[in-house]
Chains A and B, each alone.
Chain A
């Protein structure tokens, strides 16, 4: 099937969204750092009563580490409020456009009621694309340029 057609019809749910770590706005920065480390995650979504309020990514974490911070401070002081999201049932093409135009690595998938259903990330989209052309990608030789200096055998 045509790849352009697939990108405009297949849903974000097929691009391997993950279950993101979630924290409360009142949680401390120290706790959020622990979550980032223990889940080996790139971001934490901040939700209040099931509603998405903000996002705290590793890039934000680096800025804080550089500047110095108080680990008792609540996450709501430093999170990015109301992040760009995508609805369940949107096409993968639409998600890619939204990510590349804004320079985002991840998009929370949020339904009409503001409930978080998952997190779409660039590695998931890459994996989806690779799966469209598995023969090309998985049959590659181990080195980029196999050039034999000498013939094999005697």
Chain B
């Protein structure tokens, strides 16, 4: 039951407009953030995490070159892009689980044979809540950030944690 603040008419719960006086009522049922964490994931957008510049390679890049990039940049993943389209991602976990000790044998093969295809991405304008949801439900550590469908960055689970907890912990100490 939501009571119209304009005329006192008793409307059904969740009504957008008062049945009696036609005044808008949607502000009565708009969800409000219950705590700082909720507020920060709903207000912040993905670009506010300052996504780092992605390391982009083509599908034909060799495994050896990709490993060079991972080590020299001390990063967790490279994004495989073909004609401006994201076709895969290759992470440290992929390297260890799919190459492992066979590294010497495989180093001249193209990365497209070892990458994870069908990458989950996130728009740079999306709410941070989406990033949390994708990472938690999908179990991803990295998400490529896109702008108009093109890659423009990568965010990691640590970027997200650092951002959402920075404010919370600053006040806790």
Query: What is A's interface to B at a CB cutoff of 8 Å?
Result: 2-4, 7-8, 29-30, 33-34, 36-37, 40, 42, 58-59, 61-63, 65-66, 68, 71, 93, 96-97, 99-100, 103, 105, 122-123, 125-127, 129-130, 132-133, 135-138, 140, 144-145
**Residues from chain A with Cβ under 8 Å of B70 in the complex:** 62, 66
Interface of A is mostly: helix
Q: How far is the CB of B68 from chain A (nearest CB, A)?
A: 7
Evaluate contact between B95 and A65: CB separation under 8 angstroms: yes
List 6 extra interface pairs beyond A122-B157, A123-B136, A137-B136, CB under 8 A.
A30-B101, A33-B100, A65-B99, A127-B136, A129-B164, A144-B125
Q: Give complex CA distance A137, B136 in Å.
A: 9
> What are some 21 contacts across the A-B interface (CB < 8 A)?
A2-B35, A3-B35, A3-B36, A4-B171, A29-B101, A37-B97, A62-B92, A62-B96, A65-B99, A93-B165, A93-B169, A96-B161, A96-B169, A97-B169, A99-B161, A103-B158, A122-B161, A129-B132, A132-B35, A137-B133, A144-B130
Total cross-chain contacts (CB, 8 A) = 132
Q: How far is the CB of B115 from chain A (nearest CB, A)?
A: 15
Q: Which of B31, B103, B172 contacts A7 (CB 8 A)?
A: B172
Q: Give complex CA distance A8, B168 in Å.
A: 10
- Among the 9-residue stretches B10-18, B37-45, B79-87, the one with 4 or more Cβ atoms under 8 Å from chain A is B37-45
